[in-house]
Structure formats: structure tokens, C-alpha cells
Amino acid sequence: MLEHKSIRKFTDKIPTDKVVRTIVRAGQQAPFASQYYSILLSRKRKRNPFNAPLLFTICIDSYKFERIMAERNWRLVTNDLTLLFFGIQDAAYMAENMVVAGRSLGLGSCFLGSAMFRAEKIAEEYGVPKRVFPLVQLAMGYPAEDPPPRPRYPIEFALFEDKYPELDEKTVSKAMKQMDEGYLAQEYYRKANAKIPLEGSRKETFTYDNYSWTEHICRKWGQWYLEPKELLDQLEKRGFQIKAKKPK
Ligand SMILES: Cc1cc2nc3c(=O)[nH]c(=O)nc-3n(C[C@H](O)[C@H](O)[C@H](O)COP(=O)(O)O)c2cc1C
């Protein structure tokens, strides 16, 4: 797990059914609140991102759960926001188990975060019923690349024992430095040619000699003017409502 790296290039080797089922079973064995997920699989390699032999789409699935409730003559009344919070956790712990299990069997993988914005489209493609929300995708196969593990914050910037500390400038700078120097040493953004252009009046002063993770992530979250509505629309199309339900 300490050597984890996302893999975005895959060999032609096709994982066997046994391997696929073992990985999914390991995913299923993750801790759960309600097993509030389903996993869609596509082996259409030519159409999959990174031409991955396997593409898993991990969905939050209330439909299946409500079928069980109906069998027992119950109706779901909990609000959808709470269900989604639990559902995201169930799906995420399951998905990461798949990543780890895959790696233990020699496979690499990479998550794709765009699914939630294309939820309705993906749902149509797979014939997914309402109350199922495609959350994230996981491309998987045998690695055709071996990048170095990517940097992380120093543990002192992640683990706070007993009390959340006052984060002084030195601590913040140290964390930024570790990330930035780590990515620069790997020439990550230069190789990926992934500098996010500046909008508005800010002048570009960065080159690939100093453009690194903290600048990248600031440009991403400081310029991506996403309205909550864009996700809420996707959720609503899938039959989820983030508002109070009137009692019937
Ligand atoms: C929710 C989520 C969405 C992600 N989306 C993408 C993506 O769309 N494209 C991509 O290349 N990597 C994606 N990744 C992978 C991250 O870029 C990667 O995990 C991160 O840069 C750290 O690198 P590492 O996994 O190699 O340690 C995503 C990861 C997560 C957890």
C-alpha cells in the first residue's frame, strides 16, 4: 500500500474471470454501513479510458436496497443526503479494497472522477434504474508503466493527535514544499504537459521548472466555477433529492 501508484497504461493481457471475481469479492468484503453500492463492469477495451481491459463503474445503489425494503413491506423515509453520505463511504471503502486487491494480483488501476457529472449518460448506457448513481470509475489492467509513488503531505500535516494544532506558516510551508519538491523531482507536470492556464488578470509567472502540485491544485479549485446545481441535476435525474420530503 505504501508503494501505491495510479496506472494509466495497460498491457494487452486480459485478466481472467477468476481474477476479476477475486478483486470484486475483496471489494465486497470491505466494511459497510448498508452495502449501498453496485459495480458495473465493461470489458470493451477499445472504448474504455486508457484502453483499460476492465472498467468498473462504482454506483451508489438505493434501488436494490429499496427492493429489499419492499419485500419486507417497508418504505425508505431517511433523507437522501444522509443516504448519500453513507453510500459514498460504502462505495469508496469497497473501491479502494479493489485497488489494493488488484495490486496484490499484479494489476494496476486508476480512478476517474468525471462519472458523477456524466451519471445520467452512464446510467443510460448500462440500463441502470433510478435511485442508482454512478459515482466514480476505476480503470484496471496489467501495468505497462511503473511510475514512482507520488508525494504525500508529511504525516505531521495529516495526523493530529488529541487536538487539532494551530497550523503556523512554517508547518504549512513545509507541507507545501514536500509536495512541490516531490512532484518537481519526478517532472510530473512537465511530462504530463498539464499546466492549468490562468484566467482573469493573474499573470503567468510559472514554468515547468517551478509549476508543481500546490500551484496546480490552487488553479484547479480556484478557477473551476462549478455550480452545485450541476451535480444536483445529475442526482435529481437519477431520482435522488437533496431536500426535505413532505410526510405522506
Ligand atoms: C475520486 C478520484 C478521482 C480521480 N480522477 C482521476 C481522473 O479523472 N484522471 C486521472 O488520471 N486520475 C484520476 N485520479 C487519480 C489521482 O490523480 C491520483 O490518485 C493522485 O494524483 C495521486 O497519485 P497516485 O494515485 O499515483 O498516488 C482520481 C483519484 C480519485 C481518488
Ligand 1 pocket member 7 (CB < 6 A) = no
Report CA(143)–ligand 1 centroid distance (Å): 16
Strand order in the sheet with 132-141: 37-42, 54-61, 132-141, 108-112
If pLDDT is split at 50, 70 and 90, which confidence band does 225 have? confident
| Residue 244 pLDDT | 60
Question: What is the average pLDDT value for the chain, to the nearest integer?
Answer: 96
In the chain, % of residues over pLDDT 90: 94
Mean pLDDT of all residues in 218-243: 91
Report CA(225)–ligand 1 centroid distance (Å): 20
pLDDT digits (tens, 9 = 90+) for 107-148: 999 999 999 999 999 999 999 999 999 999 999 999 999 999
Residue 228, pLDDT > 90, answer no
Report CA(37)–ligand 1 centroid distance (Å): 20
State pTM to two decimals. 0.96
Ligand 1 pocket member 228 (CB < 6 A) = no
| Residue 243 pLDDT | 75
Mean pLDDT of all residues in 208-220: 98
| Residue 242 pLDDT | 86
**Which residue from 1, 4, 55, 112 has its CB within 8 A of the most atoms of ligand 1, so it is best to mutate?**
112
| Residue 201 pLDDT | 93
Residue 246, pLDDT > 80, answer no
Mean pLDDT of all residues in 169-194: 97
| Residue type for position 111 | F
Distant-in-sequence contacts of 80-85, Cβ < 8 A, 24+ apart: 80/235, 80/240, 80/241, 80/242, 81/242, 83/36, 83/240, 84/60, 84/133, 84/235, 84/240, 84/242
The CA distances from residue 29 to 75, 109, 143, in Å, are: 27, 19, 25
Task: Name the closest-CA residue to atom 30, ligand 1.
Answer: 111
If pLDDT is split at 50, 70 and 90, which confidence band does 248 have? low
Report CA(189)–ligand 1 centroid distance (Å): 14
Report CA(34)–ligand 1 centroid distance (Å): 26
Q: Are 79 and 244 in contact (CB under 8 A)?
A: yes
Report CA(77)–ligand 1 centroid distance (Å): 35
| Residue 227 pLDDT | 84
Ligand 1 pocket member 9 (CB < 6 A) = no
Ligand 1 pocket member 111 (CB < 6 A) = yes
pLDDT digits (tens, 9 = 90+) for 147-175: 999 999 999 999 999 999 999 999 999 99
Report CA(3)–ligand 1 centroid distance (Å): 15
In the chain, % of residues over pLDDT 70: 98
Task: Name the closest-CA residue to atom 22, ligand 1.
Answer: 150
pLDDT digits (tens, 9 = 90+) for 63-83: 999 999 999 999 999 999 999
